[in-house]
Structure 1
Amino acid sequence: MSKNVKPFVVKTDANMDMLRHVQEELDTVARSFTTPDDSESTLIEHVPDADVLVTCYAPVTRKIIEAGGNLKGIVMWGVGYDHIDLVAAGKHGIPVVNCPNYGSQTVADHAFALLLNLARRVGELDREMRQSEWLWPHRKYMGTDVHGKTIGIIGLGKTGAAMAQRCVGFGMEILVHDPYVGKIPEDLKRAGFASLENIFDKSDFISVHCNLTCETENIIDASLLARLKPSAFIINVARGRVIEEPALIEALKNSRIAGAGLDVFSEEPLPADHPFLSMKNVLLTPHFAYFTREADIRLDKECLQAIKNILAGNPLPSLVDISNQAMPANDIFT
Structure 2
Amino acid sequence: AAAALKPGGTVIRYGVGYDNIDLGAAGDHGLRVGYVPDYCADEVAEHTVSAALALLRKLPALDASVRSGTWAAAQTARPMKPFADTVFGFFGLGQIGRAVQQRLAGLGFRFIASDPMLSQADAAALGVRRVDTATLLGEADVLCLHAPATRETTGFFNAANLAAMQPHAIIVNSARGQLIVEDDLAEALSAGTIGGAALDVFNVEPLPADSPLRTAPNVLLTPHAAWYSDAAIDRLQGLVAEDVARALRGEGPRRPVGR
Identity %: 34
State which drifts further: 231-240 or 67-76: 67-76
Residue 109 of structure 1 corresponds to: 46
Give the 3 Å change call, closer, same or farther, for CA 110–184 of structure 1 in structure 2.
Answer: farther
Q: Supply the RMSD in Å over aligned alpha carbons.
A: 2.0
TM-score, with structure 1 as normaliser: 0.72
How far off its partner does 1:285 sit? 0.4
How far, CA to CA, are the matches of 1:269 and 1:305 in structure 2?
A: 30
**The one of 2, 10, 13 aligned to 1:76:** 13
Instruction: Work out which structure has the larger RCO, using CA pairs closer than 8 Å and 6 or more positions apart in sequence.
Output: 2
1:185-334 matched pairs, under 5 angstroms = 185=122, 188-322=125-259
CA distance in 1, matches of 2:210, 2:171: 22
Alpha-carbon offset, residue 238 of structure 1: 0.3
Q: 2-side partners of 1:282 and 1:125: how far apart?
A: 13
Paired amino acid for 1:258: G
Q: Which amino acid counterpart does residue 223 of structure 2 have in structure 1?
A: P
Whether the aligned pair in 2 keeps the contact of 1:205 and 1:235 (CA below 8 Å) is: yes
Match of 1:140 among 76, 91, 109: 76
User: Cα–Cα, structure 1 residues 109 and 70, in superposed 2: closer, same or farther, change >3 Å?
Assistant: same
Compare the two structures and name the one with the higher helix fraction.
Answer: 2
Query: Counterparts of 1:82 and 1:311 in 2: how far apart (Å)?
Result: 25
Scaled by the length of structure 2, the TM-score of the pair is 0.91
Q: Name the count of aligned residue pairs.
A: 258
Matched, 1:121 2:58: yes
**Structure 2 equivalent of residue 99 of structure 1:** 36
Over alpha carbons, which structure has the higher Rg? 1
How many Å separate the matches in 1 of 2:87 and 2:222?
24
Structure 1 residues not aligned, in runs of 5+: 1-63, 323-334
3-state SS of 2:96 partner: helix
Residue 192 to residue 313, structure 1, CA distance change in 2 (3 Å): farther
2:32–2:252 contact (8 Å) kept in structure 1:
no
Shift of 1:75: 1.3
Q: Deviation per CA, 1:136-162, whole angstroms, max 9, x where unpaired?
A: 324123444333311111112210110
Q: Is the 8 A contact 1:125 1:141 kept in 2?
A: yes
Structure 1 residue 186: deviation in Å? 7.7
Give the partner amino acid of 1:275.
P
- Match of 2:198, SS? strand
One-letter code of the match for 2:128?
A: A
